[in-house]
Every structure is written in structure tokens, then in C-alpha cells.
Amino acid sequence: MLRIVSAGLMAAAIAFGLSAPSTAAGNPANGEKLFKKCAACHSLEEGKKKVGPSLYKIFGATPGQVPKFRYSKGLVEYGQTGAVWDAETLDAWLTKPKDVVKRTKMAFPGFKKVEDRADMIAYLKSLSE
């Protein structure tokens, strides 16, 4: 009896140990795949504008600062608050852009899964390093 219980606990500990880090840190390779959902509107090349601004080195950048892109007023104002695109602000943005900037022009429904957001953010971060 005791054996069975401790084996069960071990299995739970192993499963937890293996799954926890990948969720917390994000997987950039999967983020690169997910970028397909962004690529219709965003390029990662510097200065290349599509429907949305270039996301070149966006991690760590101030919102609404890509030259010659006509942002919504709200996004520019968001940048003026001293906000920076980091893991926390990008997580909120990719959950639901309209919750961060009410009248944003970014028509993206958001990633529901926290893992998808973490992977996307890890990918964008890797490109800014």
C-alpha cells in the first residue's frame, strides 16, 4: 500500500517537474511557428511595414515608436506612459489587445492559451537579444 502511494507521488513529481519549466520559460521554436498568425500583418524586418508595424526588436521597445507607421492614438499614448514591451505587457497584449489599448487598430482576437503567449514572447525576445 505504502509503495503504491509513494510511486504515485513520484510520478506526479516527475510530471510536474517536466512540464513546469517549458510553460514558465516559453519555447521560442514553437513561437516561430505561431508567428504565422502574425505574419499577415507584421514583418520582422527592420522598417518593413504591412498592415501593422515591423516587429523588429520589439521586445524591450517602447510601444508606438516605429518610424512612419500610423498608429492608433491609444497605442502612442500607451508608449508615453513609460510602458515597455516586456513579458508582462506582451502577455496582456496577446491575450486581448483591446484590453491594453481600447481603440487599437490591431484586429487580433488573442491567444487563449498561456503557453502560446509564452512561446510567442520567448520567440520575440530571442530576436531582440
The residue ranges that bind ligand HEC (CB under 6 A) are 37-38, 40-42, 51-53, 55, 58, 63-66, 71-72, 75, 85, 93-94, 101, 104-108, 120
Cβ proximity to ligand HEC, 17 vs 109, nearer residue:
109
Cβ proximity to ligand HEC, 22 vs 49, nearer residue:
49
Cβ proximity to ligand HEC, 25 vs 86, nearer residue:
86
Question: Cell numbers at residue 67, please?
Answer: 518610424
Residue (of 107, 110, 129) closest to 120 by Cα position: 110
| Distance in Å, CB of 2 to ligand HEC, minimum | 49
Q: Using CB atoms within 10 A of its CB, is residue 108 exposed (0-12), middle (13-18) or buried (19+)? A: middle
Question: Cell numbers at residue 46, please?
Answer: 527592420
Give the end-to-end CA distance of the chain in Å, rounded to a whole number: 52
Residue (of 103, 122, 125) closest to 114 by Cα position: 122
Cβ proximity to ligand HEC, 13 vs 86, nearer residue:
86
| Distance in Å, CB of 45 to ligand HEC, minimum | 14
Element (H, E) at 8: helix 2-25
| Distance in Å, CB of 3 to ligand HEC, minimum | 48
| Distance in Å, CB of 109 to ligand HEC, minimum | 9
